[in-house]
A and B are shown apart, each in its own frame.
Chain A
């Protein structure tokens, strides 16, 4: 499975746009890129997933360049409630497989 690298932590202020970049140099053709969010004392929850170019939903946008060796999770106008750990995963789209989480990026949003 492709290994991912993302910053350990980031700080932001309310109302700002936050971009968290994840590098996955060894991504394979069948791999998808998925982001999860985890609040303290809770299990992670799915935010967004993409294969290439740009994906947007009501929570975030995901930008994936043509070479797919990195991806950027974009959170528009963050609020205090976006303070959480964000995990980038790269996993096969095939029939079986495990889900490997890294250490994630701890985002702290300040007032």
Chain B
């Protein structure tokens, strides 16, 4: 079974904290993605990575950064958390060469609350 695992299901952080959201996949996928999901806005792409140490901005990268030091792990970093970053964060992965064709597998999500 393909597995995309996000480190936390629920997280509460304080404004101004540096927050790390971790995602690990076990399918040797090249592509990894971070989304946030808010009511009425659907899934919005924050960043994606198509290879180790490679990253591309998605639609809403402001306030976020990412790290991909190993193929299986993709981290989302909130440098200084703010209340408007309270959201559900979803990580996904898919195989290389077929980013638009391959099935993307999602984690269960991390519900982050910034207080």
Question: Which residues of A line the B interface, CB within 8 A?
Answer: 30-32, 34, 36, 41-46, 49, 87, 90-104
What 9 new A-B contacts, CB under 8 Å, besides A41-B109, A93-B98, A103-B42?
A45-B106, A90-B100, A91-B101, A92-B100, A95-B99, A96-B50, A98-B33, A99-B104, A101-B44
Are B109 and A101 interface neighbours, CB within 8 A?
Answer: no
Q: What is the predominant secondary structure among interface residues of chain A facing chain B?
A: loop
Are B99 and A101 interface neighbours, CB within 8 A?
Answer: no
Return the contact of A103 from the options B35, B41, B56 (Cβ within 8 A). Answer: B41
Are A100 and B99 interface neighbours, CB within 8 A?
Answer: no
Specify which chain B residues have a CB less than 8 angstroms from the CB of A94 in the assembled complex.
97, 99-100
Report the contact-size class of chain B (Cβ under 8 Å from the partner).
Answer: 20 to 34
Return the contact of A97 from the options B4, B43, B92, B100 (Cβ within 8 A). Answer: B100
Are B92 and A43 interface neighbours, CB within 8 A?
Answer: yes
> In the complex, which residue of chain A has the Cβ closest to the Cβ of B47?
A98
Instruction: Tell me, rounded to whole Å, the shortest Cβ–Cβ distance linking A106 to chain B.
Output: 10
Give the docked Cα–Cα distance between A45 and B44 (Å): 16
Are A99 and B59 interface neighbours, CB within 8 A?
Answer: no
Are B45 and A46 interface neighbours, CB within 8 A?
Answer: no
Q: Is B75 an interface residue (CB 8 A)?
A: no
